[in-house]
Structure 1
């Protein structure tokens, strides 16, 4: 009887020790639920049809920003802050009778995206994994380049909302994102404005 009780006590002690070890491992593996990082990349935007312009084509720009990734192994939220420079190329605008000017318009924004993501593998590991991400962004215009088509900052809508979606890939501390941007509001601040920005961006960066 004593031997049986002793064996049970030893078994309970062993079980308790193993449970404690597993708890420590679990806590350690779940300890870090936040990554921070920085990204830089290129973008290409155009303007949909607008009565104020005769035409426009895809123009190249760039963006630079920081982000925080917060969540679980599969799902995460990623707020960020970016400086984004867009170019709308080959814009034709009538400035008078038989007078048509053509130029590129450079637009500069502070951008605040909030992306929700799903990870094919653990989002907080350094193993390679694919991500699906989508979410809204608020963009605030902070400048317009000098141009020959008489578009100034006052004629650009200050605050603009967009929906963004795409794919991401993480490799060690490196991350890569490819996104489609679909603006919901007109770019110009005119009563008859219809043109909205559409574009793609490719970014790469580091996460820590």
Structure 2
């Protein structure tokens, strides 16, 4: 009798745990971090180096069965420095964008501690154009008009510890930021973020 009751208890616990893993869950949190960005050109017509920027915003996670969808929304300050080969003119560029990463990922681990792998597109909207990277590069020539929207691909790893979230990602610019026949420029960056799950 005791063995039968024990077997029933184990079966119920297993079914309950499996069902909890399969049911979709929803999380919402805040996040802040640093980024290290640099510009890339096809023919390297300027020398560039990374500068430090910031990001702050919200994230959500909808998941189940080990996979999840994680949309995020950040205000991001991206900075870069370039020395143009023609005339050795140095330009420091600072601009602000509204970034929308749309990530797919998987969580490896059980309970309050787990690792994550995530990848997805990032859509950026420039919201500080007057003091942007685009306008300042125009001062040194070889640039035309610039777009107010860009698309990138990001991917990285993260860890969940209780309510805390930590991420390391690389973002590769896919969009040519210039238009009207100007020379191609793309923005790449590394990001380090710390988040907190509100619920």
| Superposition TM-score tier, normalisation by shorter sequence | 0.7 to 0.9
Task: Measure the CA separation in 2 of the matches of 1:202 and 1:59.
Answer: 14
Partner of 1:101: 89
1:71 pairs with one of 63, 66, 71: 63
Contact 1:40 1:64 (8 Å CA) reproduced: yes
1:115 pairs with one of 81, 92, 103: 103
Distance 1:33 1:52, change over 3 A: same
- Structure 2: runs of 5 or more not aligned: none
1:191 aligns with 2:196: no
The RMSD of aligned alpha carbons is 3.2
- The size of the alignment, in residue pairs, is 187
Contact 1:49 1:55 (8 Å CA) reproduced: no
Contact 1:92 1:149 (8 Å CA) reproduced: no
- Structure 1: runs of 5 or more not aligned: 1-10
Partner of 2:170: 180
Question: How far did 1:57 drift?
Answer: 1.3
Contact 1:77 1:114 (8 Å CA) reproduced: yes
Using structure 2 for the length normalisation, give the TM-score.
Answer: 0.79
Task: Measure the CA separation in 2 of the matches of 1:66 and 1:132.
Answer: 19
Q: Post-superposition, which runs of at least 4 consecutive aligned residues in structure 1 deviate over 3 A?
A: 21-32, 50-53, 146-151
Distance 1:107 1:202, change over 3 A: same
Partner of 1:129: 114
Question: How far did 1:194 drift?
Answer: 1.1
Distance 1:149 1:18, change over 3 A: closer
- The higher radius of gyration belongs to 1
Using structure 1 for the length normalisation, give the TM-score.
Answer: 0.76
Partner of 1:168: 158
Question: How far did 1:148 drift?
Answer: 6.0
Partner of 1:80: 72
Task: Measure the CA separation in 2 of the matches of 1:32 and 1:189.
Answer: 43
